[in-house]
Structure 1
Amino acid sequence: MNLITAFLLMILIGHSTSDYLHSITCPYENRNISQNRRVWCKRDVQDENCCTGFSFRPGISVLEDGNLQVQDDGKAFTVSVQTLAQGNGVYWCGFMTEDKVIVKLAEDYFAEFNFVWSILRWILFILLPLVAISTHIYLNRKHGDAKTT
């Protein structure tokens, strides 16, 4: 069993990301801002009021070579992230006013998805009850054999 687990881990370690999408929804209630440029940026670690990123026009649905996907329903826009170009951290979504002021609508912590852990946790999820049941059966047999002797 340990040999199979080790082999599976060796295969999976080479691949660290997947098509997992982490999303954030950026609601806007005021219809006057529906045509303003959207903003996607990563919060600066030293200055929480600053961020590094870019703005984009409404109607754009794919950004950064497909790593970001944007959907807009007229009341909010949702940014789905496949790969983080700037790495793990707190990301903002918002809009830019005509005066070039960024208004933050939402923020969330984004981290690269660990593919190995995503598979390993399901294997452990299945193995843990099997080990518990097997141990219970083994101990009951052992105690049952001791009673008959």
Structure 2
Amino acid sequence: MNLITAFLLMILIGHSTSDHPQTLVCPYENKNISQNRRVWCKRDDQDQNCCTGFSFQPGNIVLEGGNIQVQDDGKSFTISVQKLTQGDGVYWCGFMTPEKIIVKLAEAPFPTAPFNFVWSILRWILFILLPLMTISFHIYSNRKHGDTKTT
């Protein structure tokens, strides 16, 4: 029974991931900008006034193969990021004017999810320790029962 439990736990540990999306809410109150293109970009480390990213149409959309989801409720749009394809940094959300000027609505630092990195290492350590502990427990319990003598 212990071996079956250990096997099931090894499978679960080996395939578990911890993907918690990071979000940024981009509020807008001016109805005149509600139809402007939205912008999501990473701030340039060298020039704090520039960013690299992309623009997209208003509405609820999925970008970068599902790594970025945008939900727009008419008063703000929320960007949820599963994976940062451009890496750590400060990211902006905003809109683009008809004159191609980016107006920043919000910004936030986005790390590349340190918990995911820790879990990716920890799960393999547990993957190795679990069968070792199961075998050790099995040997110890057999040894203890084997030492008992009947008269």
Residue-by-residue CA offset, 1:59-92 (whole Å, 9 max, x unaligned): 2410010000001111000000000010000000
Kindly provide the amino acid, as one letter, of the partner of residue 118 in structure 2: W
Pairwise mapping of residues 1-149 of structure 1 onto structure 2 (< 5 A)?
A: 18-113=18-113, 114-117=115-118
Give, in angstroms, the shift of residue 20 of structure 1. 1.1
TM-score, normalization: structure 2?
0.66
The secondary structure found in structure 2 opposite 1:79 is: strand
| RMSD over equivalenced CA pairs, Å | 2.3
Give, in angstroms, the shift of residue 118 of structure 1. 5.7
Give, in angstroms, the shift of residue 39 of structure 1. 0.0
Residue-by-residue CA offset, 1:70-121 (whole Å, 9 max, x unaligned): 011110000000000100000000000000000000000001113253697x
CA distance in structure 1 between the aligned counterparts of 2:25 and 2:106, rounded to whole angstroms: 7
Count of residues in correspondence between the two structures:
109
Question: What are the ranges of 5 or more consecutive residues in structure 2 without an aligned counterpart?
Answer: 1-9, 123-151
Task: Report which of the two structures shows the higher radius of gyration computed on alpha carbons.
Answer: 2
Identity over aligned pairs, percent:
66
User: Which structure 1 residue ranges, 4+ long, deviate > 4 Å from structure 2?
Assistant: none
The secondary structure found in structure 1 opposite 2:118 is: helix
Question: What are the ranges of 5 or more consecutive residues in structure 1 without an aligned counterpart?
Answer: 1-7, 121-149
Which residue in 1 is equivalent to 2:149? none
TM-score, normalization: structure 1?
0.67
User: Is the contact made by 2:88 and 2:111 (CA closer than 8 Å) also made in structure 1?
Assistant: yes
